[in-house]
Structure 1
Amino acid sequence: MDKISLTETLALSRIVYGMWRLGDDADTSPAHVRAKIDACLDQGITSFDHADIYGDYGAEGIFGTAMREAAPSLRDQIEIVTKCDIVAPIGRYADRPVKHYDTSRAHILLSVETSLRELATDRIDLLLIHRPDPFMDPHETGAALDEVVASGKVRAVGVSNFRPWDWKLLQSAMKTPLVTNQIEISLSRLSPFTDGDLSFHQRHAHPVMAWSPLGGGALMTGTGTAQEVLDEIAAAQGVDRAAVATAFLLAHPARIIPVMGTNTLSRIAKLSDALKVTLDRETWFRLYQAGLGQEVP
């Protein structure tokens, strides 16, 4: 599987496996988590996307337990992505009175140390600020991100759910380049193709990560024009809906990196089927228009 370079020394696999629902699985044993990791590695999927808040702040620890029991060499085969800044009154923050965002230096440094411990690793390959913080001091936040990179505990930094103006504000206060923005993109959410988000990042050659690339599962289980077109293309190319919906993102010149999340081993084993799908421009627009629910102007 090809990789997308974020820096001279860091690249993510073309498809990333997401850990959002890791804690929701009926089986969270180290052996089962390792089976998921191995199913990804067998396809060339080497990048794993976390966030401290996933699983009520428990998913990183589930992954880390599996890592502790794995051969030490496993860490050098994978890239670990995680996120911070959401503080919700659950899990380790159950005593907090209100959900909020915290991009202070103290919180970022504490989050990095906590994630390193939970994930059983000595480094985070990519740290993302999870949500734009309306109370952010860009100079404090930017300096903190520069600091964790300089320390060697984090290899690269980026953001998630930022609009172009949020990105530019934070980047203006940093020495370290932001390398990616993880945003919601799918056939169910097409606005980034026209609202300036993808255009901004394409202009600056920033690869974009896409969360919920299957529309939160709605594209797989729902019915409608989009699903009909997905099924038609899938049948013609010998794959399933998920592969075609993922290929729709992979085909775009913005170098979109889909973050795929499923707890079913058989589905994990088929994530790379998306790379088998070929979409010419007209077929891509058939999907785009099906997602829009109307013909382009």
Structure 2
Amino acid sequence: MADLSCPAVVTYAGGLTLSRIVAGMWRMNEWHLTPPQRLDWIEQALAMGVTSFDHADIYGGYGVEASFGEALALQPSLRDQMQIVSKCGIKLVSAARPAHTIQHYDTSASHIIASAEHSLRQLRTDHLDLLLIHRPDPLMHFDDIAGAFERLRQDGKVRHFGVSNFSRHQFESLNRRIALATNQVECSPLHVAPIFDETFDGLQDLGVAPMIWSPLAGGRLFNGDDAAGARVRAAIQQVADELQRPFGSVVFAWIMQLPSRPLPLTGSGRIEAVREAVAATQFSLSRSQWFEILRAARGHEVA
């Protein structure tokens, strides 16, 4: 279970601590930074208290982990100040993986172990703080996954485990076999399904804090020209004006106000965007302001 009392971090039984704001590395190679510039970005994030960095083996066409590791190698002592998260279980058709002939899932024990070991080499570290199964696999076998996780833990290669995009039942089924630290799911004012489909309720019941990908709806909150995007954007801006806070900060605060205490990921290479996310840990919305955004998100009154 997680200790949800501290606004800056979430600490789990077993010793895992993650920052309330997690740096998402998905697009790092699109930022076109040199290794020293990547290192500077990492150092600025750490200075703001963003100590958790989210990866996946497939990010950047199997290239982001290596880019991050290259930067970290310039200042290896930073490793002790951060938590590195990665994911496995998706096989992409890619020039980097010529043997892959069809995009598919693979949650076999052999693939989980091989992927984790490859991530360690790419990231130039001896352990992952947290490893997630990236997507539910129709062919996944819960006992096999738990066995692979336990072997990685015994070998000292991965310290904690979790999943991503799992339903409540899928999470609880695997969690009964091996303790899971988190479920990383999509949530934003334009994607509120986890609030109502028992995903967050189930995690709150277990004392597990979810991680959140795409909290800004992939940019639709800023520039989407659809009716829902415009409606939600106007509601958020109204709250931002009332609180005299940046638009992005209000979105992150809205998500973090959920009682399961979600940990949202940033996805931007702009350090100012990370700073706005961090600022969201310092204030909260009134209940009426929170529901103004939810009403806009759903397009109707709550009752």
Q: Taking structure 1 as the reference length, what is the TM-score of the superposition?
A: 0.95
- Aligned residue type for 1:200: G
Q: What are the Cα deviations for residues 22-65 of structure 1, in whole angstroms up to 9, with x where unaligned?
A: 111222x1112112212211211110000001100100000000
Q: Give the aligned partner of residue 255 of structure 2.
A: 249
Deviations 1:208-265 (A, max 9, x none): 1111011111112235121112112222333221110110011111111101110123
User: Counterparts in 2 of 1:35-184, with a 5 A limit?
Assistant: 35-70=40-75, 72-172=76-176, 174=177, 176-184=178-186
CA distance in 2, matches of 1:170, 1:271: 31
Shift of 1:287: 0.9
Letter in 2 for 1:212: S
Q: Distance in 1 between matches of 2:12 and 2:90?
A: 24
Structure 1 SS opposite 2:212:
strand
Determine the structure 2 residue equivalent to 1:216: 218
| Structure 2 partner of 1:18 | 24
Runs of 4+ more than 3 Å apart: none
Mark the runs of 5 or more structure 1 residues left unpaired by the alignment: none
Question: Aligned partners of 1:115, 1:91: CA distance in 2, in Å?
Answer: 18
Letter in 1 for 2:120: L
Select between 143-152 and 119-128 the one with higher mean Cα deviation: 143-152
CA distance in 2, matches of 1:35, 1:232: 35
Number of residue pairs matched by the alignment:
293
SS of structure 1 residue aligned to 2:132: strand
- Cα deviation, residue 91, structure 1: 4.0
Task: Give the distance between the partners of 1:117 and 1:201, measured in 2 at CA.
Answer: 32
TM-score for both structures, normalised by structure 2: 0.93
Counterpart contact for 2:21–2:264, Cα < 8 Å: yes
* 1:235 counterpart residue number: 241
Residue 11 of structure 2 is matched in structure 1 by: 5
Task: Indicate the residue corresponding to 1:274 in structure 2.
Answer: 280
Identity over aligned pairs, percent: 38
- Tell me if the contact between 2:246 and 2:276 (Cα under 8 Å) persists in the aligned partners: no
d(CA) in 2 for partners of 1:294 and 1:135? 39
